[in-house]
A = this chain, B = another copy of it.
Amino acid sequence: MTVAFQGETGAYSESAVRALYPGVRLLPQVSMEDVFAAVVGGRADRGIIPIENSLFGSVHVNYDLLLASEVRVVAEVHVRIRHHLLAVRGAGLSSITSVYSHPQALGQCQTYLRRRLPHAEAVPTYDTAGAARMVAWKGKQHYAAIASRHAASEYGLELLAEDIESHHQNYTRFLALAPSGSARPGALQARPHKISIAFALQTNVPGALFKSLATFVLRDLDLLKIESRPLVGSPGEYLFYLDIEGSLQDVPVARALEHLEELTALLKVLGSYPIGGTWDEPLHDS
């Protein structure tokens, strides 16, 4: 099995791959478009994409790619994002003059950096894994990177400080994609399932959003996510993202979706899959 993800070895996306599909062949890609293309084109059996972060919201560009692509969601996982300070063996806080990382990670660790490394220069990089790779390659004791524990292990770096992020409630939800045409699971598994859909309402139906939610609520189906997104260029029109507890094989779910189609101008079932757990890094990386 081959799984495509965006980023390089040691990226947080790779943790999502390892959590969902341990031991598979990894296919790192430069862009999200490349991940979708790898799945649709058959070069990868699965693709992993981030869909929302607990601090920075939903990734609309990936919802757009989900709507446009012949893929379906088959799994999800929430990855705890922990930032550590990495350096070569023998380095100490007092020797560090430059800290490399993605601007967002540098920002999330600003409080720590201001207090403990007030004179170090913060140097932006493309991604956290790339920062770790660069520090390892330079091999000097005055460089540090902010990245994951896995990146430290991958590039042979030591952890100078752990969990240096200001917001510890930092989780990214990743989705696993398969080609649309691939075999669906036959029997319903015991684990609770969810369905992800995206839809746009017919503009001439008064109270259409409320009615569209009623199709689920009145059938006692729980909503797990709801989000509206204004359609740029069409004032007053919205795209909605909904996650509902249940499986496509449940009769009330199928009825609710039929009912919803009466109200929507556009409706796509993005996938039906087991509700995912949370993945946190192991204390000792394998």
- A residues sitting closer than 8 Å to B (CB atoms) are 31, 52-61, 102-103, 106-107, 110, 122, 124-127, 167, 169, 171, 207, 209-210, 213-214, 217, 223, 225-230, 232-233
Neighbouring B residues of A60 by C-beta, 8 Å? 53-57
A227 and B230 within 8 A (CB): no
Neighbouring B residues of A167 by C-beta, 8 Å? 61
A57 and B58 within 8 A (CB): yes
A226 and B223 within 8 A (CB): no
A31 and B61 within 8 A (CB): no
Considering only CB atoms, which chain B residue lies closest to A217 in the complex? B210
Bound-state Cα–Cα, A223 to B210, Å:
9
Chain B nearest CB, measured from A33 CB (Å): 9
The 7 closest A-B pairs by CB, nearest first: A57-B57, A57-B58, A169-B232, A210-B217, A124-B124, A227-B227, A226-B228
Main secondary structure of the interface of A (DSSP, over half): mixed
Q: Which residue from B52, B217, B227, B229 sits with its C-beta under 8 Å from A207?
A: B217
Between-chain CB contacts (< 8 Å), 27 pairs: A31-B107, A31-B110, A53-B60, A54-B232, A55-B61, A56-B56, A56-B59, A57-B59, A58-B58, A61-B167, A102-B103, A103-B103, A103-B124, A103-B125, A122-B126, A124-B124, A207-B217, A209-B213, A210-B213, A223-B228, A225-B228, A225-B230, A226-B226, A226-B227, A226-B228, A227-B227, A227-B228
Looking at A126, A171, A232, the one whose CB has the most chain B CB atoms below 10 A away is A232
Considering only CB atoms, which chain B residue lies closest to A226 in the complex? B228
Considering only CB atoms, which chain B residue lies closest to A171 in the complex? B232
Bound-state Cα–Cα, A61 to B169, Å:
11
Neighbouring B residues of A56 by C-beta, 8 Å? 56-57, 59-61
B54 and A230 within 8 A (CB): yes
Bound-state Cα–Cα, A233 to B127, Å:
27
Bound-state Cα–Cα, A109 to B103, Å:
18
Considering only CB atoms, which chain B residue lies closest to A52 in the complex? B57
Bound-state Cα–Cα, A216 to B20, Å:
41
Neighbouring B residues of A232 by C-beta, 8 Å? 54, 169, 171
* Known A55-B60, A103-B103; contact A233-B169, beta-carbon cutoff 8 A: yes
Bound-state Cα–Cα, A178 to B254, Å:
48
Chain B nearest CB, measured from A49 CB (Å): 14
Chain B nearest CB, measured from A79 CB (Å): 12
Bound-state Cα–Cα, A263 to B59, Å:
30
Neighbouring B residues of A31 by C-beta, 8 Å? 107, 110
